[in-house]
Amino acid sequence: MKQNQPINWRRKHFCVDATGYLGVDTQLGKVPFTIMNTPYKMWTHRMGITMDDAIRLSRELLERCPNNKKGTARLNYCREIINEGSRVMQEATCSVTFQEAVTVSLHERVGRRPSTLNELNYICKRILQGPPHIAEMQLRHIKVEHCYEVLSAHFPTPRQFIKARVVLHSIFACGMRHGWCGSNSVDGVAKPQLAEVEIVALSWENIKKLVRTAQLPQHLSCAAMMGVMLWAGVRPSEAKRLCWEDINWEENILLLAARHTKTGGARCITLQPVLRRWLIHVCKGKHLTGPICPGGWDYRWRQLRCEAEIGKWQQDVLRHTFASYHLKRFKDLSALQLEMGHSTPELLRTRYLNMRGITKEQARLFWSPKEWC
C-alpha cells in the first residue's frame, strides 16, 4: 500500500483480533465490515485522526517487528515499542538549556567560600562563551565533542583544562540529579597529562635563614604564619583562614575546620613542641585572639623571603619541607598522611617526599625546640 493512500475497506488489508488490536489480514483474518460502526471510529474521531490513519500507523508498527515474532508475541513486542518510545520522548522533552543548568548548579553551591564561588563563576562564564549557541542548547543534546570543543578553546593549559573539566562535569552531574540529561557527556573527555614539577624541600641553610629573618622586628608579624606552614604543613590558603581559637593548647592540637581546608574535610594536626614553643616565643605579650594571619600578608611575606635571600620560591614549598622532614624523623607514613589530610598515601609518595640531602641530624634539629628559640 502506498503512503497516505486511502484504505479500500472492501479489500482484505487489515483485521481486528479479539482484543481490539489491528493486524495484517494474512495473520489475523479479515476486517469485519461492521468496523466502520464500532467504537474504534468514535475513539479515533476523539483523538483527531481518521480510521485510515490509525490502521496505517498499526501497519507501520507491525512491519517493524522481527519476522520471528508471531501472533500474541508480535503484539506484545509492539506494546514494548510503544512504551519505550513514549519513555524516550518524555526524556527528550524533559530538559533545560545549558545556561539554566549552570545557574542551578551554581545556586547549589551558595554555601562555599567566596574565593571558591568567584572561581566557579569565572570558569562558568568562560564555558558559556564556548561554541555559538551552546548556552541555549538543551543539556540533553550536548555531546562529548561539544564539551571537548569548549574546554580546548578556552582553557589551553593542562591544569586549566582539568580544573574546568571538573566544573563542567559537576554541571552535568547536577543535570542528571534533576533528570535533565541521561548521562554525563564530560566522562568521554579524556584528562590531559600533567607534567609534574619536582618540588624540593628547603635546604637546611635556607630554613635557618628563613627562621632567623622571621624573628627580626620588622618581620615578627609574619613569624606565627611561617611557623604554622613550616612545622604543621598547613597550606598558605588554609593558614590565612586560621584563628588563634583553632589551637587547642591543652591537647596540643591544631584544628582545621572543613570550611577552611582545600579538600573540604576537617583535620587535626599535632602541635609539635617546636611549633608550640615558636608560637609562644614570637607572640610574647600579645593577646592571642582573632586571625593568625596579619593584614597585608602577601606583601609582608614577599618582603620577608626577599630579605632572607632564599632565591626562587616554589608554592607550597614549606608544606613539602614539613612532609620530608617529618618522614625522615618519625618514619610514620600513616601518621603523616593524616597530618597532611590526604585520603591515600599515593600523593605523598609521588609528589611530597623528597628527602634528598636531608640527614638524620638535620631532621632531629628541625624538630628540636632548642634549635630555633
- SS3 of 100-116: the string is HHHHHHHHCCCCCCHHH
Which residue would you say has higher pLDDT here, 55 or 245? 245
Cα 237 to the chain's mean position, in Å?
20
Cβ–Cβ < 8 Å for 336, 330:
yes
Q: What is the mean pLDDT of the chain?
A: 83
pLDDT, residue 258, reads 79
Which of the four pLDDT bands, split at 50, 70 and 90, describes residue 60? confident
* Pairwise CA distance, residues 183 & 173, whole Å: 8
What is the number of residues in the chain?
A: 373
The DSSP bridge partners found for residue 269 are 254
Architecture of domain 204-372: Orthogonal Bundle (1.10)
R_g (Cα) of the chain, nearest Å: 35
Does pLDDT of 354 surpass 50? yes
pLDDT, residue 37, reads 47
Give the range with max mean pLDDT: 92-106, 137-151, 335-349. 137-151
Protein fold of 98-188? DNA polymerase; domain 1 (1.10.150)
**Beta-strand (E) ranges in the chain?**
14-16, 22-24, 247-248, 253-256, 267-270
Burial 118-146 (b: 16+ CB within 10 A, else e): eebeebbebbeebeeebeebbbbebeeeb
* Pairwise CA distance, residues 150 & 170, whole Å: 15
Considering the entire predicted model, what is its pTM?
0.63
Residue boundaries of the structural domains of the chain: 14-93, 98-188, 204-372
Which of the four pLDDT bands, split at 50, 70 and 90, describes residue 103? very high
pLDDT, residue 82, reads 79
Please list the helix, strand and coil fractions of the chain in percent, rounded to the nearest 5, in that order: 60, 5, 35
Does pLDDT of 153 surpass 80? yes
